[in-house]
Chains A and B, each alone.
Chain A
Amino acid sequence: MSIVSKKVYLLTFGGLVALTLLTTGLGFLDMGPFNTIIAILLAATKASLIVMFFMHALYETRIVRVILAGGIIWVAILLSLTIADYSTRRFMPYPANQPPVAGP
């Protein structure tokens, strides 16, 4: 187990604070659908900084990285298949002889 230096922690900390301020600042602008996209992308960037440096994923053994990758893949399956289902589903109206209503 290698010891990560204090400098790395300090840089990660600075990056996280900067990204939080950036996220908040950009949030005040009205960018339509990009508000959500940018907020999620910046959150994912912050999460990767935490995982790589604070949680030492960069310095861990290969099996830990495999476990991490496995987790990410399962979340991707959860999100993609559920979104695929909801975006193609049509809710059947009652009574059944009326035309279907568009789903979400």
Chain B
Amino acid sequence: MANPAALSLREHFRTPEQQRETSSIGMWIFIITEVMLFSGLFMAFTVYRSMYPQAFIEGSAEMSIALGATNTIVLICSSFTMALSVYSAATGNRRMLAIFLIATMILGAAFLGIKFTEYYQHYRDHQAPGVWFDWRGRDAAQVEMFFVFYFIMTGLHAVHMFVGEGLLFTMLLRTAAGSFSARYHTPVELVGLYWHFVDIVWVFLFAIFYIEGLHLHHG
């Protein structure tokens, strides 16, 4: 790993502050492109939701609120530990930075574990779209469409979680190598931005998939 002093001010920047701001702007623009990616899916969901409101609420009632709400809390906790990682990095506390990065990784893994448990339950109950799909109620094709959105949107979110775990692991290695200090810790901040963004996506997924049909819950 390069020595920390060289990282905090590369030769094409005037000041460390300018270097940090440049990286930050780049990350924010990337996050906006991610927002547009997910917005397209949310838009498509909204169109189908307004076409088949009853079927989509019936589908939503099949979600496990216990697992969904737990996962939301788990992800919020992971955002909190991520924020504390950035705080530890900014105050130059490398030990706590490593601890909070590990905590965030564990919470992220717990989220994915619970998520795949849910996937398995939907598969077992013949709710995964495809030839295996079996719906005894009305509007089977429309309910299947709800599950198409459910698997694609939460699946894309899960892919982002895996990427986040990889980024956190990289940050952990670099922390162990002594790359970060109170003076230079921009990568930790940027990974934090990414992680919080993924949390925000989940907040909306939780609202549209789990909450909508909760009042007629039967499973």
Contact = CB atoms under 8 A, between A and B. Distances in A.
A35 B28 contact: no
Contacts of A36: 212
Given A39-B212, A75-B35, A79-B39, A28 B217 contact: yes
Interface stretch (B117-125, B166-174, B197-205): B197-205
A46 B201 CA distance: 11
B164 to A, nearest CB: 14
A43 B204 contact: yes
B141 interface: no
Given A54-B83, A79-B39, A79-B43, 19 more contacts: A12-B80, A20-B73, A23-B206, A24-B214, A27-B214, A30-B215, A30-B216, A35-B215, A43-B203, A47-B204, A53-B83, A54-B196, A55-B192, A55-B196, A71-B32, A71-B36, A74-B32, A75-B36, A82-B47
Interface residues of B, number: 51
B212 A20 contact: no
Nearest to A45: B203
A64 B24 contact: yes
Interface of A: 1, 3-4, 6, 9-10, 12-13, 16-17, 20, 23-24, 27-31, 35-36, 39-40, 42-43, 46-47, 50-51, 53-55, 60-61, 63-64, 67-68, 70-71, 74-75, 78-79, 82-83, 86-87, 104
A9 B198 CA distance: 18
B90 interface: yes
Contact of A60 (B24, B84, B212): B24
B203 A3 contact: no
A1 B24 CA distance: 11
A18 to B, nearest CB: 10
B20 interface: yes
B22 to A, nearest CB: 10
A4 B84 CA distance: 10
Contacts of A10: 80
B161 interface: no
B87 A50 contact: no
Interface string B180-219: 0000000001001100110110011011101110111100
A1 B8 CA distance: 14
B87 A55 contact: no
B146 to A, nearest CB: 14
7 contacts: A1-B189, A24-B65, A24-B69, A53-B83, A64-B28, A67-B32, A86-B50
